[in-house]
Amino acid sequence: MTKRKAASHIRRESAQKRGGTTRPKSLSNDDSSGYSFEELVSQDLSCESLLIFGEEYSRLLSLLRDDRLRQIAVLKVEGYVSREIAERLGVAVSTVTRKLRLIRSVWARELEQ
């Protein structure tokens, strides 16, 4: 999901109507990051990267206070929209929206630390 968002952002920022000639910025503050755009969106991830992503995903899910929040978070990460999540769980779309807002605030607070 993060790779797709980064690719979309770079595509949007380098569109002709936005100047088109600007070179995409590095994701780090310096140009010595060692990662090219192609490497970031590559489908081939190392075992170590997959392990790190999995551990971080599990850690973030464990921060959520109940199973319903975890269910909603997992479905959202899997790509379902709020309406689909609401139908699957038998709740109102506004409930899913409110719970997603709570999940984002919990995760944002944790990732800021």
Residue 36 has pLDDT above 90, yes or no: no
pLDDT tens by residue, 84-112: 999 999 999 999 999 999 999 999 888 88
Residue 39 has pLDDT above 60, yes or no: no
Average pLDDT, the chain: 79
Mean pLDDT across 55-79:
93
CATH topology of domain 46-113: Arc Repressor Mutant, subunit A (1.10.10)
Q: CA-CA distance, 74 to 105, in Å (whole number)?
A: 16
Q: In the chain, which segments carry CATH 1.10.10?
A: 46-113
Residue by residue, DSSP assigns 41-95 as T-S---HHHHHHHHHHHHHHHHTSSSHHHHHHHHHHHTT--HHHHHHHHTS-HHH
Q: How confident is the model at residue 53 (pLDDT cuts 50, 70, 90)?
A: confident
